[in-house]
Amino acid sequence: MLFGKTTVCRFFISSLILLISVSVNASVNLSDTSRINSILKSSQIALDSSNWTKSRQLTSEALKQSEQIDYIFGKAKSIVLLAQVQSISGAKDSSIINFRKALTLFTSINKVKEIGVIHYLVGVEFCDIGNQDSAEYHLNKGLEIKKEYGDKGGIAAIYNSLGAVFFYRANYAKALEYYFSSVKLHDELGDKRAKSATFNNIGSVFKSQGDYTKALDFFIQSLKIQEEYKAFKGIAFINNNIGLIYQQLGDTSEALKHFRISLENGKQTGDSAVMSYALMGIGEIHHIKKEYQKALEYYSIVEKIRKKHSNLIGLANLYIDMSRVYIDMNDYSKTIGSLQQAQSIYEKINDPIGKANTLIGIGDVYFKQGLIQSAIENCNSGIQMAKKFGVLEIIRDGYFTLNKIYEKVGDNTLAYKAYKSYIEYRDSIGGIEKTKELQRIKFESDLNNLFSKERLENENKLNIAENKTIKQTRIANAFILAFIITLFGFILIFFNYRQKQKRNNFLAFQKLDMERQRTELTAQRDELEIQKNLVIHQRDKIMTMLTDLGESIDYARKIQQALLPSDKALANILGEYFLFFQPRESVGGDFYWLYQDEDLIYFAVADCTGHGVPGGFMSMLGVSLLNEQVSRGEYVSPAEMLWNLREMIVKALNQTGLDDDSQDGMDIALCTYNKKNRELLYAGANQSLFLVTENPPEPSELVFVQENMVELKPDRMPVSFYLRMKEFNEHRLTLSPGDSIYLSSDGFADQFGGPNNKKFGYNTFRNLLLSISSKPFDKQRDLLWNEFDKWKGEESQTDDVIVLGIKIS
């Protein structure tokens, strides 16, 4: 288990605040920027104290003020802090998006040092989610800038993260190279705590290689420094690593002791993510002891923690361990369930190797259950997927399982074919392992030279002191023991000569052997270089594709924004209004629409199927079709417009009601308002209209009245193909000055959050509108935003959100 990256990230972010405080736009008022920088410093303090809610609130305020005065540095720093809070809470995808936004802002004003910091932060995020190619790309970009400015602390931190990248790729030699480079710089800077983190990571490399003695040596050195600083989080991580070593050695008692120490220190930090590793280890010990129920109890706690932090990789590993417990309990149904949960995660994070491995595992369980055809299908799927990525161990295991299956059913031809393939891949792996062993021998030789350098220097000092003592003794006794000393000297010289001859012969033999190994390793290195260049080419191609995709999405966002009414148009036509519009992604499926024909105003709020780019396409189609209807210059009532809109969408999407048809469409609330006689007409498809008035109408089946709140209920059918496509009902009301109209999509009511992580709720949303209706209209949007952000908390946004409020004058 690696650690140490979070502390360094916070050091970089604190450094950004210092850079911002001295790098102010000349055109921006210094008193404004000073106030914003003060807010950002308070936010950083809250973040360092693990008060994430306060940090998020302060960051939002700083971002708002920075946008008001176009303070680019303030905007960039606010986004960086927001990304850090998201990273800590487990929302890695959101944090990467915001770090990249900050990178764009810093690039626009050519702030090279800050660009280097952001490249580092993005690299760490990619490393955490398992995207090592992107992590290496950004870390090397940051490294170039840090070297240009001679920032040794920054270089050391990036070396440590690059070591993690190569560790996760199982390239342990390269990982050690970076880690020891980091240690060297930490020594020069006198940074013991950072050095401790890197020592832990070096220990993890040796643990993965099976060299537990060296691993324990580095873990203990790291632990001493962490205990010196009373760093509970570091103490927890290192004790967990030590526990894992004792577990590998079969000493479950000592392993359990260290896991419990890790858990107690994790509790001191209050960080449940840290505690989850210790709980995982305790669960594994109970599994080894065949205490299956206790193991599952601990795994259940870990599952809740990792779901809370969206730790998908950790969840997948947990489900694999749970499947091993269930298979030992002969509970094949739950074994498959756990493997399928892991498989689902591997699909979500696009890890085909993990998916292939689970397919083989599921196939093996089906074989034990006697479900032969399912077993064969899963094994073949896993083998084909593993072949695409050249993962020989998974291919080998797949053929081994197929061989057992075909032997059981008596198909000797296919059994022989599977066994032949198994032998072929087993031997191929043997060749690769031989290459790795040759590399390991060289790497250990280099490492031993590094370890012994200091010891040899001490021995040389001792030899010099010893020779000096011998010389003094000879001089003191020269007159008495001249003959004996001379004879002894001749014997010593002769003995040393013979020893030197033996050493020279041994070194000559060693040199020849090392030259032979060097020739073999050179050939292997050239082959690896060819493979590396191929991987780099593939990585660059993927990065280009991702960049093009991001630019396409950004362009789609601009097109969608151009189709929506501008703030100026809304103000000119509606008068007193507010708009709370919060798409879940860059492009949203919710849209609002406005059109004026003399004294008649058309306005609508719609929620299209899906969100993101698919929802964006539907929203643009909806806007275009609404515009097409009013452009004819003829009056069309809301109910007629919805009927026409549905026919246009069914025709445009070729919807016939068959199962394989497109199910796309939209829910919409559509109104017309006559400014002369204050007459409002409303028709809705699955979206209500809310009205706060002193003169409510009589309640009915389609009219809900509570105090001054009136809800005009919609028809329960979408604007798309539907089994019962009847005409839409139309409500007609005469409004009074001071009445308030509210239209919204279902995004606000469907948002998960709160103390019990449940939906906000439709009734709660309606009551919220009533409670804010008496407030000034320019404040109502802020009240809605604050309530939404408070309810959502650390949860991800569920859907696009739009609320439109209009005050009748």
Q: Summarize pLDDT for 48-101 with one digit per residue, the tens.
A: 776 778 888 898 888 899 888 888 988 988 898 888 887 776 677 788 888 888
- The single residue listed with the structure tokens 């604190």 is 14
Cα separation, 469 vs 247, in Å, equals 50
Q: Out of 68-77, 538-547, 680-689, which region has the weakest mean confidence (pLDDT)?
A: 538-547
Shortest CA distance to 629 belongs to which of 604, 648, 657, 614?
A: 648
Nearest 10 degrees: CA dihedral of 400, 402, 405, 410? -100
Q: Is the confidence at residue 620, as pLDDT, over 60?
A: yes
In 3D space, the residue among 608, 621, 687 whose CA is nearest the CA of residue 648 turns out to be: 621
Q: Does 534 fall in a domain?
A: no
Residue 49 belongs to a domain? no
**Domain of residue 685, CATH code:** 3.60.40.10
Here the tokens at position 61 are 């305020």
Segment 730-772, tens digit of pLDDT: 999 999 999 999 999 999 999 999 998 999 999 999 999 999 9
Model confidence pLDDT, tens digit, residues 201-231: 999 888 877 788 888 899 899 889 988 888 8
Q: pLDDT tens for residues 363-404?
A: 998 998 899 999 999 999 999 988 886 767 789 989 999 999
∠ CA 729-734-738 to the nearest 5 degrees? 125
Lowest mean pLDDT among 50-54, 285-289, 535-539: 535-539
Structural domain contains residue 729: yes
- The DSSP output letter for 585 is S
Tokens of 307: 């779901």
Nearest by Cα to 166 from 528, 445, 546: 528
In a domain, 433, yes or no: no
Is 111 within a domain? no
Tell me the pLDDT tens digit for each residue of 690-708.
999 999 999 999 999 998 9
What's the gap between Cα 499 and its chain centre?
A: 61
The most confident of the ranges 97-101, 138-142, 723-727 is 138-142
Structural domain contains residue 641: yes
Query: How far out from the chain centre does Cα 34 lie?
Result: 33
Of 346 and 803, which is predicted with more confidence?
803
Asked whether residue 574 carries a pLDDT value surpassing 60, the answer given is: yes
pLDDT band of residue 129 (cuts 50, 70, 90) is confident
Q: Residue 601, SS3?
A: strand
Domain enclosing residue 676, as ranges: 567-807
Does residue 433 carry a pLDDT above 60? no
Residue 750 near residue 759, CB atoms below 8 Å: yes
Report the pLDDT value the prediction gives residue 663, as an integer from 0 to 100: 74
Enter the DSSP assignment of 690: E
Q: What is the 3-state secondary structure (H, E, C) of 634-687?
A: CCCCHHHHHHHHHHHHHHHCCCCCCCCCCCCCEEEEEEEEECCCCEEEEEEEEC
**Higher-scoring residue by pLDDT: 18, 664:** 664
Say if residue 500's pLDDT is above 90: no
Residue with tokens 């077993």: 375
Residues 557/559/560/562 CA torsion (nearest 10 deg): 120
Cβ atoms of 335 and 365 closer than 8 Å: yes
Query: Where does the pLDDT of residue 526 fall: very low under 50, low under 70, confident under 90, or very high at 90 and above?
Result: low
Position 706 in a domain? yes
Global pTM exceeds 0.75: no
Helix (H) or strand (E) holding 102: helix 92-108
State the pLDDT confidence band at 30, using cuts at 50, 70 and 90: low
Task: Give the whole-angstrom CA distance, residue 426 versus residue 157.
Answer: 40
Q: Is residue 668 part of a domain?
A: yes
Count: domains in the chain: 1
| DSSP code for 509 | H
The answer on pLDDT for 19 being more than 60 is no
Q: Which two tokens stand for residue 157?
A: 């931190």
Of 433-437, 498-502, 703-707, 722-726, the range with the highest mean pLDDT is 703-707
Q: Is the pLDDT of residue 678 over 80?
A: yes
| Segment holding 710, helix H or strand E | strand 709-712
Contact 644, 636 (CB under 8 A): yes
Percent of the chain with pLDDT over 70: 81
